[in-house]
């Protein structure tokens, strides 16, 4: 049994009488590539919000490695190596793309409270940011204000910001949502090319992509974990078929 990178133990989230997450548990081994699927409104984003500390669970715990991080603030969990991207693009509109990524790098390095040297003097961060942007085919956009970019490019900036924190655990909430299929394959190539020890959980609706990049799959339905397994197991599961295709289980 390999080491555990991230563990959710019986997470619950309720709003009034509405249960968005019911006893959701999940264990990710170090370096695992794991897909989280489920119909719209199943509670996938809520689950990511609970893992990252955006929301406080009504019950349950989150562990990064051995450490219980349930009481830690979002930024403290990032410091422990867990980063996320947002389903709904959340960027810094009037900062340039380069500034945004440089900021993420400086935050990671603990240099963002430096007030006596200019940003440009941190040339190491600038160079690293440029390399990252090149890797995501954003080199030409580096100097432009983020808000001037096309939607597809903004999705890439979203990923660039997450990668700039050099995560050990990366949570991707529909990273390729709303970008053309050819480009979304490209996005996942970059993600698949990350170092093997980076643990990745990604939410994705495109089953082809899920089957191509995931080693294991979790299916969330109506706030509860329906099943977990290999892509093949999930693809052949009658309950999953029913959820997705509305078919009655055969036999």
Partner 1 sequence: MTGGAQIAEMARPRIEAMAEGLSTARWTLTEVAFWLVPVACFFLLSDYLVLGSQILITALFALSLDLVLGYAGVVSLGHAAFFGLGAYTAGLLGRHGWGEPLSGLLLAAAVAALAGWLTSFLVVRGRDLTRLMVTLGIGLLFFEAANKAAFVTGGVDGLSGVTMWKLFGVFRFDLGGKTAYAYSLVVLFVAFVFARRLVASPFGLSLRAVRENATRMPALGASVRSRLVIAYTIGAALAGIAGALLAQTTQFVGLDSLGFQRSAELVVMLVLGGAGRLYGAVIGTALFMIAQDWLSGLNPVYWQFWIGLLLVVIVLFARGGILGVADQAMAAWRRKAEP
Ligand X SMILES: Nc1ncnc2c1ncn2[C@@H]1O[C@H](COP(=O)(O)OP(=O)(O)OP(=O)(O)O)[C@@H](O)[C@H]1O
- Per CB under 8 A, residues contacting partner 1 are 52-54, 73-75, 78-79, 83-84, 86, 90-96, 98-100, 102-104, 106-108, 111-123, 126-127, 130, 142-143, 161-162, 164-165
Residue 249's binding partner out of partner 1, Mg ion, ligand X, none, with CB under 5 to 8 Å set by partner kind: none
Could you list the residues that contact Mg ion (CB under 5 A)?
Answer: 45, 87
CA distance 164 to 125: 10
Tokens at residue 216, please? 């294991």
Closest CB 43 distance from partner 1, rounded Å: 20
Least distance (Å) from partner 1 to the CB of residue 32?
22
The mark string for 82-101 relative to ligand X (x by CB under 6 A, - otherwise) is: -----x--------------
Q: Does 42 bind ligand X (CB under 6 A)?
A: yes
- The smaller minimum CB distance to ligand X, of residues 5 and 48, is found at 48
> Of 11 and 132, which CB lies nearer to Mg ion in the complex structure?
11
CA distance 34 to 234: 12
- Contact assessment for residue 172 and residue 84, using Cβ atoms and an 8 Å cutoff: yes
Contact call for residue 20 and ligand X (CB under 6 A): yes
Pick the stretch among 42-50, 111-119, 185-193, 233-241 that binds ligand X (CB under 6 A): 42-50
45 scored as a contact of ligand X (CB under 6 A): yes
Distance linking the first and last C-alpha atoms of the chain: 36
As a whole number of angstroms, the distance between CA 192 and CA 92 comes to: 26
* Residue 15 interaction partner, one of ligand X, Mg ion, partner 1, none, beta carbon < 5-8 Å per kind: ligand X
For residues 83 and 184, which CB has a smaller minimum distance to partner 1 in the complex?
83
Binding site for ligand X (CB under 6 A): 15, 20, 38, 40-46, 87
């Amino acid at each position: 049994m390999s080491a555990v990178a991230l563990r959710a133990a019986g997470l619950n989230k309720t709003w009034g009488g509405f249960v968005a997450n019911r006893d959701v548990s999940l264990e990710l081994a170090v370096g695992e590539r794991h897909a989280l699927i489920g119909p719209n409104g199943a509670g996938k984003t809520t689950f990511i919000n609970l893992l990252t500390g955006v929301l406080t669970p009504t019950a349950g715990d989150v562990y990064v490695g051995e450490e219980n991080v349930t009481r830690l603030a979002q930024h403290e969990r990032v410091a422990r190596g867990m980063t996320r991207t947002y389903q709904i693009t959340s960027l810094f509109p009037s900062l340039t793309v380069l500034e945004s990524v440089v900021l993420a790098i400086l935050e990671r390095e603990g240099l963002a409270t430096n007030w006596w040297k200019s940003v440009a003097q941190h040339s190491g961060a600038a160079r690293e940011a440029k390399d990252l942007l090149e890797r995501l085919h954003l080199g030409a956009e580096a100097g432009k204000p983020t808000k001037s970019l096309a939607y597809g490019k903004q999705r890439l900036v979203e990923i660039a910001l997450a990668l700039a924190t050099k995560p050990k655990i990366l949570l991707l909430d529909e990273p390729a949502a709303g970008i053309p299929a050819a480009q979304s394959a490209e996005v996942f190539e970059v993600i698949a090319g990350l170092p093997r020890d980076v643990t990745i959980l990604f939410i994705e609706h495109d089953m082809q992509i899920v089957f191509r990049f995931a080693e294991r799959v979790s299916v969330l339905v109506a706030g509860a974990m329906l099943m977990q397994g290999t892509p093949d197991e999930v693809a052949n599961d009658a309950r999953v078929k029913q959820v997705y295709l509305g078919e009655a289980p055969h036999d």
